[in-house]
Amino acid sequence: HGLEHLNVTYITLNGYVDVEKYRYFYFVIIFTIYILIIFCNSFIVCLIVIHQSLHEPMYIFIAALLVNSVLYSTVIYPKLLIDFLSEKQIISHPVCHFQYFIFYSLGGSEFLLLSAMAYDRYVCICKPLRYPTIMTKTTICVFLVLAWLVPASQVAGSAILSSKRKVCHFTLEGIFCNNSVHKLHCVSSRGLSMYGVIILLNIVFFPMFYIVFTYIKILIISYRSSREVRTKAAQTCLPHLLVLVNFSLLCTYDIIILRLESDIPKTARLIMTLQVVLYHPLFNPIIYGLKMKEISKHLKRLFCRDVMTVIRTGLYKYDKYD
């Protein structure tokens, strides 16, 4: 039932499994992953900021994507950690809708940033001579602003409309506020559902079709070109495609969880929900760190330098005591 305190409605998050029994285990796992996400993403963003050779449109978009991953995790993880240690897993109605808004805004931003990357790769590989005049600082800034602004403005409408509706159910079958907030309403709204479909088309499906279409075009053009162009296309496009496929699968998960909520056992649902927020923010820095030639080069250089410093320090101490 809803807990009323100072006229604030509280929603019970009912998606946890044996939280009393495993609360510390859950806490340690999620806390470790959250720290890893912040460290891995921030580390590569710092590499891009520090090295002048990485101040190119593609790497700026990668940095934006990694910052997006950290923000995306920060919407979910701190609240999860508090819930694991709390007697009652509850969230206030306004905060629930705020979490819903940020979660889907940043999810949409991910697709729009990947679209910007696809356009950048298309111009770089298919129109190399015009690349410097097309991908200017202004173009990059416009893309970045739109990538965060377009989803936010559209999801904000859905969140506000949803929060204004009368609530009759006070239990969410999840561990954070996603699309299932609509199931709290006394009467389901057809208009809100239609608006949700329009948002889904605008910030997920249209960008996705654009990305796939662009990469197909790149593949056709590079296939007809020299071997050097083919190699360049494969090296720079493969990481973006891996990230796109991974994130698309997770979005499909989110939709499946919502549609089949009653048919999925609670433990399976918890695992599926954790998949959505767990490994994608870790997947991005690993893929870009290993697969992007320039970034992995700087990572290796940094790692080798640190190893050499440790060896030198060890040898110096050994000589000193000898």
Give pLDDT tens digits for 170-229: 888 888 888 888 888 888 888 888 898 899 899 988 999 999 899 888 888 887 777 777
Q: Is 201 left (phi over 0), alpha (psi -120 to 50) or beta?
A: alpha
The first and second tokens of residue 65, run together, are: 């994507």
Give bridge partners of residue 90 from the DSSP assignment.
12
Cα–Cα distances in Å, from 231 out to 185, 224, 226, 293, 320? 53, 12, 9, 12, 50
Q: Are 97 and 177 in contact (CB under 8 A)?
A: yes
Full domain range(s) for residue 231: 3-291
CA distance 258 to 245: 20
CA distance 103 to 277: 10
* Per-residue confidence band for 7, with pLDDT thresholds at 50, 70 and 90: low
* Per-residue confidence band for 2, with pLDDT thresholds at 50, 70 and 90: very low
The first and second tokens of residue 138, run together, are: 């202004």
- As a whole-number percent, the residues of the chain with pLDDT over 70 amount to 87
Cα–Cα distances in Å, from 263 out to 173, 181, 256, 258? 12, 18, 11, 10
Look at residue 43 in the predicted model and tell me its pLDDT. 87
**H or E, element range at 152:** helix 137-164
Residue 314 lies in a domain: no
CA distance 27 to 89: 14
Residue 308 lies in a domain: no
Q: Are 154 and 108 in contact (CB under 8 A)?
A: yes
More confident residue, 57 or 311: 57
Residue 313 lies in a domain: no
CA distance 254 to 248: 10
**H or E, element range at 91:** strand 90-92
Total number of domains constituting the chain: 1
* Per-residue confidence band for 1, with pLDDT thresholds at 50, 70 and 90: very low
Q: Are 88 and 5 in contact (CB under 8 A)?
A: no
More confident residue, 39 or 264: 39
Look at residue 101 in the predicted model and tell me its pLDDT. 94
CA distance 289 to 284: 8
Q: Are 135 and 123 in contact (CB under 8 A)?
A: yes
Question: What value does the mean pLDDT take over residues 108-116?
Answer: 92
The 10 Å CB-count burial string (b at 16+, else e) for 267-285 is eebbebbbebbbebbbbbb
Look at residue 259 in the predicted model and tell me its pLDDT. 66
CA distance 10 to 4: 7
Look at residue 316 in the predicted model and tell me its pLDDT. 52
CA distance 58 to 107: 20
CATH number at residue 287: 1.20.1070.10
* Per-residue confidence band for 313, with pLDDT thresholds at 50, 70 and 90: low
Per-residue model confidence as pLDDT tens digits over 231-273: 777 777 777 787 788 778 777 777 776 666 656 777 777 777 7
Look at residue 112 in the predicted model and tell me its pLDDT. 94
Question: What value does the mean pLDDT take over residues 280-299?
Answer: 73
Judged against a pLDDT cut of 90, whether residue 11 lies above it is answered with no
Residue 320 lies in a domain: no
* Per-residue confidence band for 3, with pLDDT thresholds at 50, 70 and 90: very low
Per-residue model confidence as pLDDT tens digits over 48-93: 888 888 888 988 998 999 999 999 899 989 999 999 888 888 889 8
Residue 317 lies in a domain: no
Residue 110 lies in a domain: yes
CA distance 38 to 78: 12
Residue 190 lies in a domain: yes
Residue 302 lies in a domain: no
* Per-residue confidence band for 140, with pLDDT thresholds at 50, 70 and 90: very high
